[in-house]
Amino acid sequence: MLAARARKGLLVVGVFTALLWVIHVANVLTGTRLIGALGIDPLELDGLDGIVFAPLLHAGVGHLLSNTLPLLVLGFLTFLEGTGRFAVAVAASWLGSGIGVWIFGGGLTIGASGVVFGLFAYLIVRGFYNRSLRQILLAVVLFLMYGSILWGVLPTAGSNVSWQAHLFGALGGVLAALILRRRSVPGRTDRRRQSSGR
């Protein structure tokens, strides 16, 4: 079961990441016109479609490379919980980042880093909501690997990096972990005790 899910996760996340590269090539071939047309333009009605499309666009190879490996790793680890949970985590990160940028952003914004921050935040906090030692241990490992990216949620003077995308993407990931937290079923413990006593 887990092996099959892992194979499917590799396929889904791999195809999505490959799609980002295909879109980047198409954007370059069109003279980067897609960025102006589909980026998030804060507080502009014309920029609302960017909430959906901006994470698919990147300013250059370096920008896309910086998101590729984290998307593969974090996306795969999230997918191991199942397609539904993966979809909720990605959607919350994607929309949280996009809506936050549209309301509070400082300029035209593109890139999947908001989704990266959202998946990272989701994987970091879900273990505490679920009270899962295994998930908490994974969170510790991920924090040691990628924890430094959390500085990206803070404003940086003179930087053209959208800290708003990072911050609201991360908040979307936390929201997804809250929505998807595992709830205990009333009476389940009692039934188990009764069964073991027979």
pLDDT recorded at residue 124: 94
Cα dist from 157 to 17, 96, 196, whole Å: 30, 23, 62
Q: Please state the rounded mean pLDDT for residues 64-68.
A: 95
Predicted confidence (pLDDT) per residue in 155-195, tens digit = 765 567 899 999 999 999 999 999 998 764 444 444 444 44
pLDDT band at 106 (very low <50, low <70, confident <90, very high): confident
Map out the domains of the chain as residue ranges: 2-183
- Sequential DSSP letters for 83-121: HHHHHHHHHHHHHHHHHHHHHH--S-B--SHHHHHHHHH
**Tokens of residue 133, six digits:** 């030692």
pLDDT recorded at residue 193: 41
pLDDT recorded at residue 189: 42
119 pLDDT above the threshold of 60: yes
The class (CATH top level) of 2-183 is: mainly alpha
